[in-house]
């Protein structure tokens, strides 16, 4: 039995431009996430990741297809499906009338759990919230509110944990604290579904990933196999001025850092020669193996024919 199963799931909305037409946010998405997996759901903004999670959590209903959690359909068996899920949303949501411990006790009560203080104490300690246990949630920093969201999602010990951009805009300490704790829960048998734009996190944590583009699954494979199948190495260097447009159009540029996919030594030398001919000096030159971000860019460009929006 899969921990999470999406079967031919589509979701459409009224088109904002044409009321008589519909916008297809998800297009016949099918995938199974096995129990105990650490699974990554990757894609650019608007790919459909949050729509999938909203349907999984019961916040939205699929236009067609079915979704289940540990065999419980999220529509027909919604109560059991909700009990099996712990969802950490993107948005910071908190109740300003309670302190941290009270918020977690109330969250426990929503699932009918009493005398949960031992597990609450473990959550507070593991997520670095112990010294904030009696602080009103309004007094917490953004990072501390994010930690509380994680604790609330885990307070009923759900077998399936869903993390929707959990480290967006947070500091390095929280990332390390969170991943250490979540990795421990995963080793204990919890299934984890992660969406993130930090692809180095997905590469380090996820045994398998699905890549979405405009509501369609365009890649679904073990992370190691995706990396093994990458078609090129990467030439990486720094420059102090802009590259000519002809070169820049083939590169991935982040500030001063320039990266080119390079299949062999001849291609590497051609890129470096073109940089010299442009009157620029390549600094800190290195050649590395492709990482998940390189694979992601390649997969997205390979699927450029997928429409940026499906309107019917």
Q: pLDDT tens digit string along 153-172?
A: 999 999 999 999 888 777 78
pLDDT at residue 13, rounded to an integer: 84
Per the listing, tokens 């820049």 go with 248
Tokens 């903004």 -> residue: 45
- Give the pLDDT of residue 303: 66
CB atoms within 10 A of CB 96: 8
**SS3 breakdown of the chain: % helix, strand, coil, rounded to 5?**
35, 30, 35
- pLDDT band with cut points at 50, 70 and 90 for residue 90: confident
Cβ-proximal residues to 283 (8 Å cutoff; 6+ apart), any chain: 237, 238, 239, 240
Q: How far is CA 177 from CA 7, 14, 41, 87, 117, in A?
A: 34, 41, 21, 18, 21
Quick one: DSSP state of residue 203? H
Yes or no: say if 273 and 182 are a contact pair by the CB < 8 Å rule.
no
Residue 244 carries which DSSP code?
Answer: P
Cβ pair 60, 51 in contact under 8 A: yes
pLDDT range class, residue 97, cuts 50, 70, 90: confident
Predicted pLDDT of residue 213: 93
CA pair distance 245, 239, nearest whole angstrom: 14
| Strands annotated E in the chain | 4-14, 22-33, 38-42, 64-69, 72-73, 85-88, 160-164, 191-195, 208-213, 216-222, 233-238, 252-254, 257-262, 283-289, 310-311
Out of 97-111, 132-146, 176-190, 199-213, pick the least confident.
132-146
pLDDT at 113: 92
Residue 308 pLDDT: 44
pLDDT digits (tens, 9 = 90+) for 45-73: 889 999 999 999 999 999 999 999 999 99
**Rounded average pLDDT over 123-146:** 88
Q: What is the pLDDT of residue 37?
A: 97
All domains in the chain, ordered by first residue: 4-84+158-227 (3.40.50.300), 232-289 (3.30.70)
Nearest Cα to 237, choosing from 252, 218, 220? 252
Q: Looking at residues 79-92, what average pLDDT do you find?
A: 90
pLDDT at 231 over 70: no
DSSP state of 242: P
- Count Cβ neighbours within 10 Å for each residue of 226-256 and write b for 16 or more, e otherwise: bbeebeebbbbbebeeebeeebeeeeeeeee
Note whether 122 and 80 are within 8 A (CB).
Answer: no
């Amino acid at each position: 039995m899969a921990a999470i199963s999406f079967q031919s799931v589509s979701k459409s909305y009224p088109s904002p431009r044409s009321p008589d037409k519909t916008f297809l946010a998800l297009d016949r998405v099918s995938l199974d996430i096995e129990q105990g997996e650490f699974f990554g759901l990757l894609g650019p903004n608007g790919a459909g990741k949050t729509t999938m999670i909203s349907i999984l959590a019961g916040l939205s209903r699929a236009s067609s297809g079915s979704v289940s959690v540990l065999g419980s359909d999220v529509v027909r068996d919604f109560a059991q499906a909700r009990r099996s899920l712990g969802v950490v949303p993107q948005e910071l949501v908190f109740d300003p009338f309670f302190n941290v411990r009270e918020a977690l006790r109330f969250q426990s009560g929503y699932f009918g759990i009493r005398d949960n203080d031992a597990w609450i104490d473990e959550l507070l300690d593991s997520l670095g919230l112990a010294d904030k246990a009696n602080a009103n949630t309004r007094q917490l920093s953004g990072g501390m509110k994010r930690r509380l969201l994680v604790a609330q999602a885990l307070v009923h010990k759900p077998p399936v944990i869903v993390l929707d951009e959990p480290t967006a805009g947070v500091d390095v300490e929280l990332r390390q604290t969170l991943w250490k704790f979540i990795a421990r829960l995963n080793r204990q048998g919890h299934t984890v579904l992660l969406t993130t734009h930090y692809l180095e996190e997905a590469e380090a944590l996820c045994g398998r990933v699905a890549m979405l583009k405009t509501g369609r699954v365009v890649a679904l494979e073990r992370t190691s196999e995706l990396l093994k199948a990458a078609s090129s190495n990467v030439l990486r260097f720094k420059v102090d001025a802009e590259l000519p447009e002809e070169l820049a159009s083939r590169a991935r540029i982040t500030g001063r850092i320039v990266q080119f996919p390079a299949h062999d030594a001849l291609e590497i030398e051609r890129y470096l020669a073109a940089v010299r001919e442009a009157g620029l000096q390549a600094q800190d030159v290195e050649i590395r193996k492709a990482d998940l971000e390189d694979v992601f860019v390649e997969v997205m460009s390979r699927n450029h024919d997928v429409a940026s929006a499906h309107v019917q």
